[in-house]
Structure 1
């Protein structure tokens, strides 16, 4: 418990400190997190994490998360073209390897590059929104996700009776999930009330609800694939907390979801 607390304080201070600073330092931190997350996924599915086939996925993640705008560079493709090209490279591997690397492996690696790459891309880009309020939007989403996690945990421990999805995550309860949604919505509403009109209450309601529901589903997604591969944590980078994907499983689905549905009013 002591180790978990110390790790949480140090990692949280570094992340939030660089997030507050913004700019290239924060973006490169998120980029590093994304590449470590991809490494954890590749290692989990028992593929050589620094082999030739994995390199395509690292390239895809780097392409998605790299701070193009902040460095004055232009992304050479549209995002959908970039996704297609990464997929094509993975498919070529099956041909050139004469099916020694099968479609199942390249499919998993491709999914991971999109899932992790685009997830972290939106985490980084949320700090650099065109309206100049990226710090507010980032803290809003992080606070809503953390409030959902805390609400689900404490309400679940106190009132939890009905299992939510025991085959995937035996400790989660429906009561805890509902508690997480309520606490997340309240948190987002507080941000709205303190925003001086920047965040309408209607958007806060949607953002709080989405952060909780989609965030909890993101957590279940990772629980599901870890159960398939018989592991408890995706990595051991953060003692007492697991790996990057263990800590960011909700983030990498909530941030894209909120942006794609244009729930942030900027």
Structure 2
């Protein structure tokens, strides 16, 4: 517990400090987290972490994370075209390696690129929001996610009786999940009260609901695939907490979702 607390304080202070600074500092941090997260994903699947396919995967993650605006450049092609080109290369890998890297392995590596690369890229996009309030939007989403996690944990411990999804995560309860949703929505409404010109109560409620539901589903997604591979943690970078993916599983689902369904009013 002591090790977990110390790691949480140090890692949290570093993350929040660079988030406050924004710009290159925060973007470089997110890029490093994305690459480490992809390394954890590759290692978990059993693929060699420095094979040609994995190295191309790291390059794919970097494609998502390149800060074209900060570089004063325009991306050479759209996100949609980039995803298709990455997919094409992985399909061709199965041919050129004569199935030493078969479709199942390359499909997993491709999934990891989109899952992790897009997740962290939308975190960067949120902080760099063109309306000048990127820090507020980032803190709103993170606060809702963290509030949902805390609410689910404490409400579940106190009132939890009905298992939410025992086949995937035996400790989660329906009562805890509902508690997390309520806490997240309360937090989002508080933000709406603080900045009413930027965020209506109605939109805040939808954002809070999305952060809680998608955040908890993001956690279940990682629990599901870790069970497939028979591992407890995705990595060991953060003593007492596991790896990057263990800590960011909710973030990399929530941030893209609220943008894609246009719950974020500013871009």
TM > 0.5 fold call = yes
Partner of 1:222: 222
Using the alignment, how far apart are the partners of 2:52 and 2:35 within structure 1?
A: 15
| Corresponding residue SS for 2:259 | helix
Instruction: Report whether the alignment pairs 1:204 with 2:193.
Output: no
Cα distance per residue 1:118-146 (max 9 Å; x no partner): 00000111000110100000000000000
Using the alignment, how far apart are the partners of 2:10 and 2:40 within structure 1?
A: 21
Which shows bigger deviation, 5-14 or 194-203?
Answer: 194-203
**How far apart are 1:197 and its partner, in Å?**
2.0
Unaligned runs of 5+ in 2: none
Superposed CA RMSD: 0.6
Asked if the contact 1:28–1:67 (Cα under 8 Å) also holds between the matched residues in 2, the reply is: no
Partner of 1:69: 69
Partner of 1:150: 150
Using the alignment, how far apart are the partners of 1:63 and 1:187 within structure 2?
A: 34
**How far apart are 1:172 and its partner, in Å?**
0.2
**How far apart are 1:264 and its partner, in Å?**
1.5
Cα distance per residue 1:149-170 (max 9 Å; x no partner): 0000000000000000000000
Using the alignment, how far apart are the partners of 1:264 and 1:114 within structure 2?
A: 21
Size of the aligned set, in residue pairs, is 266
**How far apart are 1:100 and its partner, in Å?**
1.4
**How far apart are 1:261 and its partner, in Å?**
1.0
Map 1:162-173 onto structure 2 (within 5 A). Answer: 162-173=162-173
Partner of 1:184: 184
Using the alignment, how far apart are the partners of 2:232 and 2:106 within structure 1?
A: 24
| Corresponding residue SS for 2:236 | coil
Which consecutive aligned stretches of 4+ in structure 1 deviate over 4 angstroms post-superposition? none
Asked if the contact 1:149–1:180 (Cα under 8 Å) also holds between the matched residues in 2, the reply is: yes
Cα distance per residue 1:77-118 (max 9 Å; x no partner): 100000000000101100001111110000000000000000
Partner of 1:88: 88
- TM-score, normalising length: structure 1: 0.99
Unaligned runs of 5+ in 1: none
Partner of 1:2: 2
**How far apart are 1:56 and its partner, in Å?**
1.5
Partner of 2:243: 243
| Corresponding residue SS for 2:58 | helix
